[in-house]
Structure 1
């Protein structure tokens, strides 16, 4: 089939690689406009746009997909189908109608669970044991369209959102191409999503990423892993912000009040509502990440000092 691919971040690249290695023809990609990045705030191409530039494939960067100029170019390209992976903008009905077989979206959850922008983060945050990826027909509702197929994946006890998303991006790429093949052959069947089991996964904010030391240790662990690498879990010490990497709950650790620090020779512990956690990586403002023991060595902690 003739395809126009819509996507923006690096997580979409495994699907692009899989499509380019398939028998389908990639006419163009649609991605978010170049955005300022780095200290110089210079405009930077999205990973999907850069991937297409390297291969001489046309790149479309509408501010909004409802723009008449974009939709006119899409009609000129006349794609049979438009696969989507993490594009980052709502596609209006007028654009959805242009490809003969519509738009098919690879979403990183087992729909109808975790509809929205951050399905992997919410699966980790809420302690799900199993998740996966779904390919569904894009429609006007938020991730509500009928599903063509799914793959499942076990969430490991130490998975961060980044770890899990990397696996799902690879597994989902194969699923997406299989669905495109089935659509081309006329064998694809999209089944409506069930009405029960619906949950929403809005983007996690910086406030969501603040660690609640009054939570049980398992919840502290989940929040930090869910927010790694983005938006980045954080806390404060002496009113200075610290970013924290994944921690390890200590089942039989000493009693510490929520947030209370204890520095030992080989580990740094923090109290929670239950048992303490062992800090892993710490990043103080303006400094590089370092092991918690190295970070603590440079501090003169007073007895009873707490993270907040």
Structure 2
């Protein structure tokens, strides 16, 4: 809509290139398909369709009915990747999830005494801040929130939009004097909790400025990961960057809720007594293990970043 307004009469008879099918319904603005027709374009090139049932082919059909030539499927693979968050929320009702693991060569995230700062180097940590900035939310479990007292904000990249900070805590047993508690009014903090969270804890976190989201518990008594993500999707989140810990990572992987995996491997080993990056998943056969396809690798000043996506064969 902004581009058409800026183009003005220069849009008449022109070609518009869009990465997603123009919407065909009223949302925060009138339909984009309607605006393209009003601008008297001659041609529209669409990378991929919009699976939202309010559009899903209707935007393209409306343009063609109005006499505008439409070409579809151009650079579709790239568009599907770029719109993964939006498409996942529309199709599955939850945001796309990237699980980040920063670990040693033998998959440990802390020593036996709990020391973990820093396993990876400055460049790897800077990459993490960039990844946070590219997501709607940063997600951690209650154990990580208690042990690390993280801020979960984007730092060192100038003035950027801060993602929502989300914690999964069934009992809301998080210290109010933590960094998250002290800054909940400056940068949003959402806490997904269970039905059995004490009323006093709810009142205290509500007074601190946090947004509380009640989520059903799963079979093991812990929060249902799928229900938590569905609740986040219902509130408009499309991309979630999960930074652990091991129990939450295992929960999401076991439930097939991880779309992308970012593995930061540092060149050291801590041995079996170290804390594993992923908790117990109860996998007895290799065929039951979630599989990912390697998408890219980078060297970050001695650390290795590997990016994986859900395998098409999974």
TM over 0.5: no
TM-score normalized with structure 2 length:
0.28
Structure with the larger helix share: 2
- Which structure has more relative contact order (CA 8 Å, sep 6+)? It is 2
TM-score normalized with structure 1 length:
0.29
